[in-house]
């Protein structure tokens, strides 16, 4: 799905005009169905540590064409810079500068990934070097061309580079499933998680709840989780009953009609799950609304519903699910090692004019998952969030044409994302391999020009 401007600048006359005038020229973004290869080769692994050697060996095991230098390569599909043992800023150039001479040889849709450690606030020189990786990575993402992306993995000290969370994050970032994720750093804080053997059905045997599932991003999430092998429970308000039933029939899912803002919504959800003999391994809290207005004209009628749906409902539903008990307990509705993924927004990170209510609710989601992750740790579970940027949906299609067109171009990839881009990131966070990511918010925004 492309917008009219993108279709024009990809035509022969459009290409010529865009080049002459200097207009944005969005490149095609290969997604799962377009690029089935797990890794775009050849792959160059940069770095001098044992960790770099480990990553190279892992990639060889994945069937990748792995090199340690750029010499004699006319084209490069993937670059992985392993900087896990840097101790001073001078180390950055020694490892990273070989990539500078190879930037023009990167293939369309290329992937660059850094693997490093977070600053600890202990050694100034080492922390300066570690912090420098982030600045390098975010700037490089703005310079990638032809649909290429640049992302990073921050592995906490004590987390080996072959830990499930590190390798799972690497696999996701190298795949076509991360097409609209760029300029981001995934933080792996623990060695929890396990390797997924079934690459075709990584969520096989797991049951997932998706709220706000009847249409748009929610429906895309449900379809993607189902494609990855999950059983589905789909939930939406009674007013969306027709669309919900249609989706449930398509996916052979269990439908639940429920207003998530009702005072007893959590208890009713638990009762519905018990009645249907469903135990959740994954809960995707996607239900959300907007009621935009400049704050000078904001009223309780616009403020309260947004906070109620977008964040208060997430708190009440997760409270009810946790209080109903974990795996092994009588009447439990949560399975082993549950995954909770909440929908935040880049508006909750950078703010947005006319969206004080929406931004407050989404910033609340980001803080909520951080706290919820600590609460779920005793169950072996995780909580994370996904923050979409401009995504092509029915809601964005109703924006004023000029505003919509500008919003599409204000990211490094110069185009809007698709609902499936959000869904693919959620599917990764729901996987067994993502057990080491806790309390994180992953932006799916093509690297907006505002915010982090």
Q: Are 241 and 233 in contact (CB under 8 A)?
A: no
Spacing of C-alpha 12 from chain mean position: 34
In whole angstroms, how far apart are CA 299 and each of 262, 289, 352, 370?
A: 21, 16, 18, 29
Q: What distance in Å separates the CA atoms of residue 220 and residue 393, rounded to the nearest whole number?
A: 11
Buried b (16+ CB within 10 A) or exposed e, 380-401: ebbbbbbbbbbbbbeeeeeeee
DSSP 289-304: ------GGG--HHHHH
Q: Which helix (H) or strand (E) holds 386?
A: strand 382-388
Rounded Cα gap, residues 80 and 167, in angstroms? 12
Cβ–Cβ under 8 Å, residues 119 and 127: yes
Residue 449 phi, psi dihedral angles, 5° rounding:
-75, -15
Which distant-in-sequence residues (6+ apart) come within 8 Å of 277 by Cβ? Answer: none
Between CA 94 and CA 127 the distance in angstroms is 17
Q: Which of 400, 371, 405, 379 lies closest to 390, judged by CA?
A: 405
Please indicate whether residue 5 is annotated as part of the active site: no
Can you name the residues that pair with 136 across neighbouring β-strands? none
Number of helices (H), then strands (E), in the chain: 16, 13
Instruction: Compute the residue count for the chain.
Output: 452
Distance CA(113)–CA(452), nearest Å, equals: 17
From the list 358, 368, 390, 428, the catalytic residue is 358
**What is the Rg, in whole angstroms, of the alpha carbon atoms belonging to the chain?**
22
Question: Is 184 exposed, middle or buried (CB count within 10 Å of its CB: 0-12, 13-18, 19+)?
Answer: buried
Report the run of H or E that residue 219 belongs to, with start and end.
Answer: helix 216-227
Which residues does residue 280 pair with via DSSP β-bridges, in sequence order? 334
Catalytic residues: 358
């Amino acid at each position: 799905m492309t917008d009219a401007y993108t279709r024009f600048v990809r035509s022969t006359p459009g290409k010529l005009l865009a080049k002459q005038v200097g207009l944005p020229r969005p490149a095609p973004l290969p997604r799962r169905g377009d690029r089935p290869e797990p890794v775009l080769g050849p792959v160059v692994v940069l770095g001098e540590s044992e960790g770099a050697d480990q990553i190279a060996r892992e990639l060889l095991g994945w069937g990748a064409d792995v090199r340690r230098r750029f010499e004699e390569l006319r084209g490069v599909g993937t670059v992985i810079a392993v900087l896990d043992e840097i101790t001073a800023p001078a180390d950055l150039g020694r490892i990273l500068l070989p990539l500078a001479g190879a930037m023009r040889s990167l293939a369309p849709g290329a992937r660059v990934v850094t693997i490093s450690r977070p600053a600890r606030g202990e050694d100034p020189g080492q922390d300066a070097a570690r912090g420098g990786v982030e600045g390098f990575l975010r700037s490089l993402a703005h310079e990638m061309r032809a649909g290429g992306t640049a992302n990073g993995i921050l592995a906490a000290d004590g987390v080996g580079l072959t830990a499930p969370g590190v390798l799972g994050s690497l696999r996701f970032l190298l795949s076509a499933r991360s097409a609209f994720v760029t300029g981001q750093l995934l933080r792996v804080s623990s060695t929890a998680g396990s390797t997924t053997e079934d690459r075709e059905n990584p969520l096989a045997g797991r049951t997932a709840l998706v709220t706000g599932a009847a249409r748009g991003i929610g429906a895309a999430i449900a379809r993607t989780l189902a494609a990855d092998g999950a059983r589905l429970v789909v939930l939406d308000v009674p007013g969306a009953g027709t669309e919900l039933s249609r989706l449930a029939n398509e996916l052979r899912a269990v439908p639940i009609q429920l207003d998530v803002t009702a005072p007893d919504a959590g208890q009713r959800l638990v009762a519905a799950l018990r009645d249907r003999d469903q135990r959740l391994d994954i809960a995707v809290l996607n239900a959300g609304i907007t009621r935009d207005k400049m704050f000078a004209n904001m009223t309780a009628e616009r403020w309260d519903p947004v906070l109620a749906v977008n964040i208060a409902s997430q708190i009440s539903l997760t409270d009810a699910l946790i209080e109903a008990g974990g795996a092994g307990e009588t009447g439990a509705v949560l399975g082993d090692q549950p995954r909770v993924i909440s929908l935040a927004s880049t508006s909750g990170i950078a703010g947005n004019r006319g969206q004080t209510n929406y931004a407050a609710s989404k910033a609340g989601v980001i803080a909520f998952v951080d706290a919820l992750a600590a609460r779920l740790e005793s169950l072996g579970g995780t909580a994370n969030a996904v923050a979409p940027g401009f995504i092509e949906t029915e809601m964005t299609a109703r924006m004023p044409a000029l505003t919509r067109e500008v919003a599409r171009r204000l990211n490094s990839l110069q185009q809007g994302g698709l609902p499936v881009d959000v869904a693919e990131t959620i599917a990764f966070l729901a996987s067994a391999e993502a057990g080491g990511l806790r309390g994180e918010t992953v932006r799916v925004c093509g690297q907006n020009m505002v915010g982090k």
